[in-house]
């Protein structure tokens, strides 16, 4: 008993050590496939660290309009004071005094209205008349400040373009939804990676704390955005993993105690499982640097197969035989089962998907470690004189030899698949997310009310050597896509060059500025008959003179002196290493396929169109085909192992038949249930095959050379039934998870386990044959 306790303590210590050195992660991006094209590679890089993923959308509702405006202003002030946000927009912040000074100085280099004809007498006359009318209106203070130094209206036009283009109403220094019940709106951009669940959870906590500090009363705060989704997904995955771990462990322990009436057996079963978990986790952490929570949950449940090994060792133990002798006797069959199950994971290892490869490494190493522990360690841990007796199970002999029923079941399953076409492939990555539909609907609603861009369809600009090069390409794109706008394929795009023109374009605008004498003459002609003093526009003349000699405004200048505009630009212009990339979210896209085809013909070098949904569907389809080919290779390898291990092709096929039948039945049940299958369902089918190998091998042991010779038929079937029930308890819990990936895996294996056991029993030959 001391050796057993010491072994469990050592395994617990090793498990704690590897988990401390490489804590499990819950970032769903780690399960995304790597990009195989420049567009997809850029997409996944942006999903991991792009500034657009740090956007938080918020709404405050449940109070009178005036109270909502106060709460919005005070919440925004708290967010800015926290230092966690690069930008906070709530309707109260326009441009700071320093930003206004800089942008007012550079207005003629930044404004798209800076053309030679804009400074002629014919163009200036209506501007001066509008200025005169404005000075007699409520806008007089604003126009008195800017109008005489900028009669062309370049600066106010820029400010309206940058800050005023929104679908919201501004009232009392806050943004409000244009329709429906009163709802104050805010938008903020965090400083961490958008899908870094911990960073985004901290940003959300700061948001809620700022709202609570404003004394909200009965008002409530709604949050959405990529960061909210990342934190919610991580939380849901964590809750599901904890639920599966605790619930399945409790049920499994209760069943095994009921079956064997021994706490000693529970301790013995924990040894191979613990060794498998520690070895699998350590291997995955060594290869990948960390272990994902989904890989941990799926790997742990997959390693539930190793619970079968000690159960089989103890229940196939003969009277008068030592446990080490039993281990030697059943080792050829146990070894074949473990190696074949591990070989079945070749599809995971060859899929190229980081998540599936990680699961394959975790489970493959764990299976082999669990089998080895059962063979060489576990037999020496049973205390001397200890006996473990099993409670008898109902006789299953009536199932034996029911091949007609088995064939009928397979025919029905095949007919179902033929009629329904089988379960459809799930190619929508959003369907694998644990985010509730209500939260996704809220996100769409807030984006619509705020006018926030939907980054599903976008133009990718790059790679480029500098920000200036990206801005030049952005300007070329703006011109090239006008025919596409006229054809109705899109309504526009949020281009980086909208906020900062390229240096070349700024120089062209400088060249369009008139000389002072020409400008004074044009102004004299335009102001004739209007009640302006002759010196009223001296600041305008001086500003044009200064603008001709200004150095072009750069990205760094903007980020240092104009953070509000820089915050608008930074999600569209990012640097990755030595290269710079730009994005331009497209708006008003009706047919993404048609736009993609038309955009491919644009004569703009270094620009490509990317529709996120289309790209993800193509990638998942490509990886699905690749994984299926590797799965077929795994099937061939497993069959070869069975044929070699059982020394006969017919024997190998006899053992493989229940496995194939269980997969067929499982697919038919999934088709009837309307379950769309993904790569993770395929992984679950591989796990099912590994489980079915155990059942088929040990049930099929028959004849004088069988490793179970000397045991009653019911005892042998009861031993395998115990393993099947133990597995069913584990995966029954997994099928109750809210995370779609875990739910799909659990449902697939739970159905398959029942089918695999019944088919293995039914395909046994009758007594005497």
User: Do 148 and 247 share a structural domain?
Assistant: no
So what's the pLDDT on residue 91?
Answer: 63
So what's the pLDDT on residue 246?
Answer: 85
Report whether pLDDT(192) > 70.
no
Q: What is the tally of structural domains in the chain? A: 2
So what's the pLDDT on residue 501?
Answer: 94
User: Do 357 and 261 share a structural domain?
Assistant: yes
So what's the pLDDT on residue 92?
Answer: 57
- Residue that has been written with the tokens 């980054």 in this structure: 455
So what's the pLDDT on residue 703?
Answer: 40
Mean residue pLDDT of the chain comes to: 84
**Range in 122-131, 170-179, 214-223, 475-484 the model is least confident about:** 170-179
The whole-angstrom separation of Cα 326 and Cα 322 is 6
Q: 330 vs 295, which has greater pLDDT?
A: 330
- Residue 574: inside a domain: no
The whole-angstrom separation of Cα 685 and Cα 632 is 12
Q: 352 vs 112, which has greater pLDDT?
A: 112
- Contact status, residue 235 vs residue 83, Cβ threshold 8 Å: no
- Contact status, residue 150 vs residue 104, Cβ threshold 8 Å: yes
User: Do 324 and 250 share a structural domain?
Assistant: yes
Report whether pLDDT(275) > 90.
yes
Report whether pLDDT(402) > 60.
yes
* Terminal Cα-to-Cα distance of the chain (whole angstroms): 44
- Residue 21: inside a domain: no
- Residue 352: inside a domain: yes
Residue 110 sits in which domain range?
Answer: 99-167+501-552
So what's the pLDDT on residue 36?
Answer: 66
The torsion defined by the Cα of 349, 355, 361 and 364, in degrees rounded to 10, comes to -80
So what's the pLDDT on residue 708?
Answer: 46
The 3-state secondary structure of 95-141, one letter per residue: CCHHHHHHHHHCHHHHCCCCCHHHHCHHHHHHHHHHHHHHHCCCCHH
Distance (Å) of CA 445 to CA 171, 295, 454, 457, 614? 20, 34, 12, 18, 23
- Residue 40: inside a domain: no
The torsion defined by the Cα of 622, 627, 632 and 635, in degrees rounded to 10, comes to -170
So what's the pLDDT on residue 551?
Answer: 94
Q: Give residue-wise pLDDT tens across range 16-74.
A: 999 999 998 866 566 666 666 776 677 777 766 666 677 788 999 999 999 999 999 99
Q: What is the DSSP string of 681-737?
A: HHHHHHHHHHHHHHHHHHHH--STT-TTTTS-HHHHHHHHHHHHHHHHHHHHHHTT-
User: Do 336 and 419 share a structural domain?
Assistant: yes
Q: Of the residues 531, 552, 573, which one is the last residue of a structural domain?
A: 552
Mean pLDDT over 303-314 rounds to: 87
Q: Give residue-wise pLDDT tens across range 430-480.
A: 677 777 777 888 888 887 777 666 677 889 998 899 999 999 999 999 999
User: Do 512 and 661 share a structural domain?
Assistant: no
- Residue 183: inside a domain: no
- Contact status, residue 349 vs residue 355, Cβ threshold 8 Å: no
Report whether pLDDT(329) > 50.
yes
So what's the pLDDT on residue 282?
Answer: 95
Q: Which of 63, 56, 64, 62 is nearest to 90 (CA)?
A: 56
The whole-angstrom separation of Cα 681 and Cα 715 is 33
Highest mean pLDDT among 85-89, 591-595, 681-685: 591-595
- Residue 724: inside a domain: yes
The whole-angstrom separation of Cα 602 and Cα 92 is 41
Banded model confidence at residue 647, pLDDT cuts 50, 70, 90 = confident
For residue 379, what is the DSSP state?
Answer: G
Q: 167 vs 654, which has greater pLDDT?
A: 654
Q: Angle at CA 259, nearest 5°, toward 257 and 260?
A: 70
Mean pLDDT over 724-741 rounds to: 83
So what's the pLDDT on residue 156?
Answer: 80
* Token representation of residue 487: 């054809």
User: Do 387 and 273 share a structural domain?
Assistant: yes
So what's the pLDDT on residue 436?
Answer: 76
Banded model confidence at residue 714, pLDDT cuts 50, 70, 90 = low
**Range in 148-157, 603-612, 625-634, 720-729 the model is least confident about:** 625-634
**Range in 57-66, 340-349, 366-375, 664-673 the model is least confident about:** 340-349
* Token representation of residue 536: 């009223």
The whole-angstrom separation of Cα 492 and Cα 165 is 13
The size of the chain, in residues, is: 769
The whole-angstrom separation of Cα 657 and Cα 665 is 12
Q: Give residue-wise pLDDT tens across range 476-493.
A: 999 999 999 999 999 888
Q: Give residue-wise pLDDT tens across range 116-131.
A: 999 999 999 998 888 8
User: Do 621 and 542 share a structural domain?
Assistant: no
Banded model confidence at residue 704, pLDDT cuts 50, 70, 90 = very low
User: Do 279 and 143 share a structural domain?
Assistant: no
So what's the pLDDT on residue 705?
Answer: 42
User: Do 534 and 649 share a structural domain?
Assistant: no
So what's the pLDDT on residue 707?
Answer: 45
- Contact status, residue 493 vs residue 459, Cβ threshold 8 Å: yes
HSE-up (13 A, CA, CB side) for residue 380 = 8
Q: 351 vs 261, which has greater pLDDT?
A: 261
Banded model confidence at residue 769, pLDDT cuts 50, 70, 90 = very low
So what's the pLDDT on residue 512?
Answer: 93
Residue 221's beta-bridge partner residues?
Answer: 60
So what's the pLDDT on residue 453?
Answer: 62
User: Do 544 and 624 share a structural domain?
Assistant: no
Strand, helix or coil at 490?
Answer: coil
User: Do 264 and 156 share a structural domain?
Assistant: no
Banded model confidence at residue 709, pLDDT cuts 50, 70, 90 = very low
User: Do 623 and 521 share a structural domain?
Assistant: no
Report whether pLDDT(140) > 80.
no
Mean pLDDT over 503-532 rounds to: 92
So what's the pLDDT on residue 668?
Answer: 95
Q: Of the residues 552, 568, 593, which one is the last residue of a structural domain?
A: 552
Q: Is residue 759 exposed (0-12), middle (13-18) or buried (19+ Cβ within 10 Å)?
A: buried
**Range in 501-505, 554-558, 703-707, 738-742 the model is least confident about:** 703-707
The whole-angstrom separation of Cα 610 and Cα 599 is 10
- Residue 718: inside a domain: yes
- Residue 109: inside a domain: yes
The whole-angstrom separation of Cα 39 and Cα 17 is 40
Highest mean pLDDT among 190-199, 270-279, 552-561, 641-650: 270-279
- Contact status, residue 580 vs residue 502, Cβ threshold 8 Å: no
The whole-angstrom separation of Cα 277 and Cα 370 is 8
Percent of the chain with pLDDT over 70: 90
Element (H, E) at 607: strand 607-611
Q: Angle at CA 202, nearest 5°, toward 198 and 208?
A: 140
Contacting residues for 642 by C-beta, under 8 A, at least 6 apart: 336, 340, 651, 652, 655, 656, 693
């Amino acid at each position: 008993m001391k050796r057993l306790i010491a072994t469990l303590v050592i395994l617990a210590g090793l498990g704690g050590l590897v988990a401390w050195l490489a804590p499990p992660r819950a970032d769903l991006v780690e399960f995304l496939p790597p990009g195989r094209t420049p567009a997809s590679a850029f997409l996944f890089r942006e999903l991991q660290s792009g500034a657009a993923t740090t956007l938080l959308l918020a709404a405050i509702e449940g109070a009178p309009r005036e109270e909502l405006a106060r709460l919005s202003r005070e919440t925004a002030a708290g967010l800015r004071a926290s230092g966690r946000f690069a930008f906070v927009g709530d309707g109260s912040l326009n441009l700071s005094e320093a930003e206004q000074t800089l942008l007012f100085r550079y207005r003629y280099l930044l404004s798209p209205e800076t053309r030679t004809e804009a400074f002629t007498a014919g163009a200036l006359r209506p501007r001066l008349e509008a200025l005169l009318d404005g000075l007699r209106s409520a806008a007089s203070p604003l126009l008195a400040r800017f109008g005489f130094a900028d009669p062309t209206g370049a600066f106010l036009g820029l400010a309206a373009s940058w800050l005023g283009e929104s679908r919201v109403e501004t009232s009392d220094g806050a943004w409000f939804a244009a329709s429906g019940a009163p709802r104050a709106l805010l938008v903020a951009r965090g400083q961490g990676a958008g899908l870094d669940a911990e960073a985004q959870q901290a940003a959300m906590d700061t948001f809620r704390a700022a709202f609570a500090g404003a004394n909200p009363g009965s008002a409530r705060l709604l949050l959405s955005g990529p960061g909210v989704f990342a934190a919610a997904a991580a939380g849901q995955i964590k809750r599901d993993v904890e639920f599966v771990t605790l619930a399945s462990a409790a049920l499994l322990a209760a069943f095994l105690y009921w079956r064997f009436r021994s706490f000693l057996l529970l301790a013995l079963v924990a040894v191979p499982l613990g060794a498998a978990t520690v070895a699998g986790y350590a291997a995955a952490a060594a290869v990948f640097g960390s272990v994902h929570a989904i890989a941990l949950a799926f790997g742990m449940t997959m390693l539930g197969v190793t619970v079968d090994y000690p159960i089989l060792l103890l229940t196939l133990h003969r009277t008068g035989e030592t446990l080490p002798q039993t281990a030697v006797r059943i080792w050829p069959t146990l070894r074949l089962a473990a190696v074949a199950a591990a070989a079945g994971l070749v599809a995971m290892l060859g899929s190229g998907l980081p998540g599936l490869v990680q699961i394959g490494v975790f489970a493959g190493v764990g299976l082999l470690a669990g089998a080895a522990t059962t063979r060489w360690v576990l037999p020496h841990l049973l205390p001397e004189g200890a006996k473990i007796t099993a409670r008898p199970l109902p006789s299953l002999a009536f199932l034996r030899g029911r091949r007609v029923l088995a064939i009928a079941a397979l025919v029905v399953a095949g007919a179902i698949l033929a009629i329904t076409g089988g379960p459809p492939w799930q190619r929508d990555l959003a369907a694998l997310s644990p985010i509730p539909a209500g939260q996704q609907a809220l996100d769409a609603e807030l984006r619509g009310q705020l006018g926030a861009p939907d980054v599903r369809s976008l133009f990718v600009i790059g790679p480029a050597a500098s920000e200036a090069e990206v801005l030049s390409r952005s300007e070329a794109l703006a011109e090239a896509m006008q025919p596409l706008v006229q054809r109705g394929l899109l309504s526009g795009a949020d281009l980086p060059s909208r906020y900062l023109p390229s240096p070349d374009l700024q120089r062209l605008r400088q060249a369009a500025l008139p000389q002072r004498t020409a400008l004074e003459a044009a102004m004299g002609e335009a102001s004739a008959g209007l009640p302006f003093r002759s010196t009223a526009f001296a600041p305008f003349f001086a500003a044009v003179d200064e603008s001709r000699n200004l150095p072009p405004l750069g990205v760094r200048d903007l980020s240092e002196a104009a953070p509000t505009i820089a915050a608008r630009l930074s999600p569209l212009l990012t640097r990755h290493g030595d290269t710079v990339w730009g994005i331009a979210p497209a708006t008003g896209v009706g047919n993404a396929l048609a736009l993609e085809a038309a955009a491919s013909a644009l004569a703009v070098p270094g620009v490509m169109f990317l529709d996120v949904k289309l790209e993800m569907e193509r990638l998942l389809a490509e990886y699905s085909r690749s994984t299926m080919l590797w799965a077929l290779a795994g099937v061939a390898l497993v069959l070869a192992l069975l044929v070699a291990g059982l020394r006969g092709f017919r024997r190998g096929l006899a053992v493989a038949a229940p496995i194939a039948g269980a997969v067929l039945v499982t697919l038919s049940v999934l088709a009837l249930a309307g379950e769309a299958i993904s790569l993770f369902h395929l992984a679950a089918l591989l796990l099912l095959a590994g489980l079915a190998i155990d059942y088929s091998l040990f049930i099929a042991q028959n004849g004088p050379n069988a490793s179970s010779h000397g045991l009653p038929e019911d005892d042998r079937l009861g031993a395998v039934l115990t393993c099947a029930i133990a597995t069913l308890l584990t995966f029954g819990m997994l099928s109750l998870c809210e995370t779609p990936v875990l739910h799909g895996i659990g449902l697939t294996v739970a159905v398959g386990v029942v089918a695999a056991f019944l088919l293995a029993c039914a395909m046994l030959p009758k007594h005497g044959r």
